[in-house]
Amino acid sequence: MPLLSALGSFAQSKVSYGFRVGVSSADMSGDAVKSLNDVIDVAKDYVSTGSRTGFYTGTYVSLPIGNIITVEPGIYYAQKGYKLKGELNVKGVDILGVNAKAQLQLNYLELPVLLKANMGGLQLFAGPQVSYLTNANLKLSAGALGFNILSTKVPVTSYFNHWDMGLTGGIGYQFNNGLNLMASYDYGLSKVDANKDFDAKNRMMKIGIGFNF
């Protein structure tokens, strides 16, 4: 009887598909600036760092394993990185110096596998995540007297590790009409620089909206 009951509850639960899009705020922990040491020279006392605002989007499938628990694998495109502002010297770029700005733009394909608990609409979830770096650029700008005298991009993909392992988790709410909201935090476990010399790792907060079919 318990087995039949479990099979019955599984049969009543449906596999669903969906898509999600949202905004993100990314930065790095540890030696973030040092991870670019082969490309950029910085005067540490005159450089500040900040988060990069971006977006993410993708699709997922929800696989029920009962009335409460689902497994949710997905594939997403996500923008990560961070910002620098201050005294910067970039190899190959002559016009750059005090009050220059640089934004490290890391773009990933991400494959999370979430274990999700559904409690009357409220959802709690967590799971591992594998990410693949598709490309990386350093966007540079500098100006004087309110004018932009430099705006360029330097490709830096080769300086970064293509694979990133991490954990993600958060909270959400599923409405009866299929709409869902979520907020989550990504915690990178892998060093991002290609040679793994510096302890710089991805961090990102995400807020998104999705729809279940």
Task: Report the percent of the chain where pLDDT is more than 70.
Answer: 81
Q: How many CA atoms lie within 13 A of 128 on its CB side?
A: 5
pLDDT of residue 174: 96
Is the whole-model pTM more than 0.75? yes
- Torsion angle of alpha carbons 151, 156, 157, 160, nearest 10°? -130
pLDDT of residue 41: 63
Question: Mind listing the pLDDT tens digit for each residue in 46-59?
Answer: 677 889 999 999 99
Q: Judge whether 198 and 31 are in contact, CB under 8 Å.
A: yes
pLDDT of residue 7: 43
Cα–Cα distance measured from residue 72 to residue 49, given in angstroms and rounded to the nearest whole number = 34
- Compute the average pLDDT of residues 107-123: 97
Cross-strand pairs, 206? 24, 184
pLDDT of residue 66: 85
Q: Where are the beta strands (DSSP E) in the chain?
A: 16-30, 40-64, 69-90, 100-119, 122-144, 147-155, 163-174, 179-188, 200-212
pLDDT of residue 48: 75
Query: Does position 149 have pLDDT exceeding 70, yes or no?
Result: no
pLDDT of residue 51: 93
pLDDT of residue 27: 93
Which segment of 5-19, 150-164, 193-207 scores lowest on mean pLDDT? 5-19
Question: Mind listing the pLDDT tens digit for each residue in 7-28?
Answer: 444 444 689 999 999 999 999 9
